[in-house]
Amino acid sequence: MEKNSCRAECAISLLPVLAVAALGGVFTLVGKEPILVFHGAIMALSGALAALYLFRKMLAPPAEIPLEYNDKIIRAAVIMILIWGIIGFGVGDIVAWQLAYPNLNFDLPWTNFGRLRPVHTTAVILGFGGNALLATSFYVVQRTSRARLAGQVTPWLVFWGYNLFVFLGVTGYLFGVTQSREYAEPEWYADLLALLVWIGYFWIFLATLARRAERHIYVANWYFLGFIIAFAMLHIVNNLSVPISLEYAKSYSLFTGVQDAMTQWWYGHNAVGFFLTAAFLGMLYYFLPKAANRPIYSYRLSIIGFWGLVFTYMWAGSHHLHYTALPDWVQVLGMSMSLILLVPSWASVFNGFFTLNGAWHKLRYDPALRFMTLAVLFYAIATFEGVFMALKPVNALSHYTDWTVGHVHAGALGWVAFITIGSLYKLVPWVWHREGTYSRRLEAWHFWLALSGAVIYVGAMWNAGITQSLMWQTYDANGQFVYSFMDSVDMLHPYYVARAIGGLLYLVGFMIGAYNIWLTINPPTPAEIPSTPETRPLPASGVVAQPAAQPAE
């Protein structure tokens, strides 16, 4: 058994940790806004604790590296998925009710819609989604490489650093600290923290792959890698900004107007493309075949799907800016590339569905597999719809309306969250060594609540959006508008109520899911299964650890 001390890794990690602590210290001392002082104190404290942890590790005598996979980090991320999920869906439903009954804004600074809405998007995308990706990517890369996760301390620094980043973002918005760039709202200091975290994440991933006992890098890992690399590029470029001083949180973008808009939507669309799509496809490519116990249908389709996605998504951002002051050539290019995007998107859809061939009967008794299957269906719908909306004439109708919101949540509720939940129901018993979840019946309840919630939400927003759009475009015989803007707002009320109810069902479903997972982790009647072969890498000559997840060809 190897022995190892944490000299090099701990010493190198100490630099970024101390940098964060120092920056936090400066904010605490010179900050003139309470929120910046608060953020500074949190950063300084976290940095100091992390530094202490590193010192202790460095001074400790060389320890044996356990042979087991590192599943503790995955367990921690699972807990954060549940916490951010409840916060994110909860705030989503609050803002949904605010749009139905605006008195719920209470007209206070920290409860108004404008400040709460980014809390929702950040908590669901970066909080819920981001931790889901940490958990599953760490799981998948270990199992498919048959190697323990690289790094003794880095995974923990990445995990805590990442969640600190989301926390700084979300608490900042409540006090008005925001860059106002959608899905990139956190201010520059949080962005720097995220960058450090991302470097660590990238290193862990590559170093684990370097240890792998398999010759091939499994397809799920391509997607995770694509996500990590692309998101680093997007994050760095889109967040370039000039802070006004160390006393205030505020910064100004390095770009202006048109260039700024294009940069932001190059980021925004690829936050969708690489964060909400590519990375969750990585999840799909591992957990769906495992749950169905079938190999991936086609290796060739995975290759086409992957490279097509990585290449094409980056061109499509300008479809968020149709008919605006952005030069026409960029709009047309974005529209054309969006059309092509359907090919790699549906390559994964077909791959997903055909993988299920021969396992369809399992849907009847396995709600987790049902979640994953429906996720593929919603993914198919959202990508088809997205391509449609990217056409300029269609976008003339859909842009600025609730149709966009409907599209977003077809993708978000139906695809991102469903694939996550389905995978969670498999992942939790695996990493906590349970035979299955606490209750399949609760899983089924969760499934039906989530499905009806999503269908109500998306259906209401499609109707609302299209009606709204038509009302904005209706002229009478004299060339005057038939409807005032307020007419279109009044029309929305019933749809907004329906959406809020759909959201509530979704939230309740998720809370049942969280309860179920909690009882799976802490069963009322403890029944720990001893370490199964899956918890540690097999010797290279051994049986292939993941027969079902290997490419078929």
Partner 1 sequence: MGKLHQMIERNSIVLVLMITIVASIGGIIEIAPLFTIQNTVEKVEGMRVYTPLELAGRDIYVREGCYACHSQMIRKLKTDVDRYGHYSLAAESMYDRPFQWGSKRTGPDLARIGGRRSDEWHVRHLKEPRKVVKGSLMPGYAFLADTDIDPQRIALSIKALQWAGDPYTDEMVKEAAKDAIRQASPDMDDAESIKERYGEKVQIRDFDGNPARVTEMDAMVAYLQMLGTLVDTKALRAAVKAQRQAAESKPAGKAKEVAAR
The three-class DSSP label of residue 394 is helix
- Find the binding residues for partner 1 in span 130-159 (CB under 8 A): none
Residues in the chain: 553
Residue identified by tokens 């890992």 is 221
Cβ contact 20:43 at 8 Å? yes
184 is a site residue for ligand HEM (CB under 6 A):
no
Residue identified by tokens 């069902």 is 505
Amino acid identity of 112?
N
Taking the C-alpha atoms of residue 220 and residue 140, their distance in angstroms, rounded to an integer, is 8
Taking the C-alpha atoms of residue 18 and residue 38, their distance in angstroms, rounded to an integer, is 18
**Shortest approach of partner 1 to residue 60 CB, angstroms?**
31
Taking the C-alpha atoms of residue 352 and residue 283, their distance in angstroms, rounded to an integer, is 11
The residues that bridge with 481 in the sheet, in sequence order, are 475
**Shortest approach of ligand HEM to residue 505 CB, angstroms?**
8
Amino acid identity of 125?
I
Taking the C-alpha atoms of residue 318 and residue 486, their distance in angstroms, rounded to an integer, is 30
Question: In the set 87, 356, 368, 405, which binds partner 1 (CB under 8 A)?
Answer: 405
User: Which of partner 1, ligand HEM, none lies near 534, with the C-beta cut-off 5 to 8 A by kind?
Assistant: none
Q: State the number of CA atoms in the 13 A half-sphere of 167 facing the CB.
A: 14
- State which residue, 150 or 278, has the beta carbon closest to ligand HEM: 278
Of the candidates 215, 143, 220, 213, the one whose C-alpha atom is nearest the C-alpha of residue 534 is 143
The residues that bridge with 243 in the sheet, in sequence order, are 251
Taking the C-alpha atoms of residue 104 and residue 94, their distance in angstroms, rounded to an integer, is 8
- Give the pair of three-digit tokens for residue 114: 């404008």
Question: In the set 22, 206, 538, 544, which binds partner 1 (CB under 8 A)?
Answer: 206
- Measured at the alpha carbon of residue 293, what is the angle toward residues 290 and 294, in degrees to the nearest 5? 105
Residue identified by tokens 């499934």 is 447
291 is a site residue for ligand HEM (CB under 6 A):
no
467 is a site residue for partner 1 (CB under 8 A):
no
319 is a site residue for ligand HEM (CB under 6 A):
yes
- Find the binding residues for ligand HEM in span 228-287 (CB under 6 A): 268, 272, 276-277
**Shortest approach of ligand HEM to residue 381 CB, angstroms?**
9
- Site map (CB under 6 A) of ligand HEM, residues 73-112, x = contact: ----------------x--xx-xx--x-------------
- State which residue, 255 or 430, has the beta carbon closest to partner 1: 255
383 is a site residue for ligand HEM (CB under 6 A):
yes
Cβ contact 63:3 at 8 Å? yes
- Find the binding residues for partner 1 in span 477-506 (CB under 8 A): 481, 485-486, 489-490
- State which residue, 161 or 411, has the beta carbon closest to ligand HEM: 411
Question: In the set 413, 460, 492, 517, which binds ligand HEM (CB under 6 A)?
Answer: 413
Taking the C-alpha atoms of residue 27 and residue 518, their distance in angstroms, rounded to an integer, is 38
Question: In the set 296, 408, 421, 549, which binds ligand HEM (CB under 6 A)?
Answer: 408
Question: In the set 116, 158, 278, 412, which binds ligand HEM (CB under 6 A)?
Answer: 412
Question: In the set 70, 298, 338, 468, which binds ligand HEM (CB under 6 A)?
Answer: 338
Taking the C-alpha atoms of residue 255 and residue 239, their distance in angstroms, rounded to an integer, is 10
**Shortest approach of partner 1 to residue 123 CB, angstroms?**
15
542 is a site residue for partner 1 (CB under 8 A):
no
- State which residue, 113 or 255, has the beta carbon closest to ligand HEM: 113
506 is a site residue for ligand HEM (CB under 6 A):
yes
Cβ contact 71:134 at 8 Å? no
Question: In the set 178, 395, 469, 550, which binds ligand HEM (CB under 6 A)?
Answer: 395
Of the candidates 332, 344, 343, 345, the one whose C-alpha atom is nearest the C-alpha of residue 391 is 332
438 is a site residue for ligand HEM (CB under 6 A):
no
Q: Name the phi and psi angles at 285, rounded to 5.
A: -70, -15
- Give the pair of three-digit tokens for residue 41: 């104190």
121 is a site residue for ligand HEM (CB under 6 A):
yes
- Give the pair of three-digit tokens for residue 97: 């009710």
- State which residue, 24 or 411, has the beta carbon closest to ligand HEM: 411
- State which residue, 342 or 442, has the beta carbon closest to ligand HEM: 342
- Find the binding residues for partner 1 in span 281-310 (CB under 8 A): 300, 303, 307, 310
Taking the C-alpha atoms of residue 182 and residue 270, their distance in angstroms, rounded to an integer, is 12
Residues in the site for ligand HEM, rule: CB under 6 A? 89, 92-93, 95-96, 99, 117, 120-121, 124-125, 129, 182, 268, 272, 276-277, 316, 319-320, 338, 341-342, 345, 379, 382-383, 386-387, 389-390, 395, 398-399, 404-405, 407-409, 411-413, 415-417, 503, 506-507
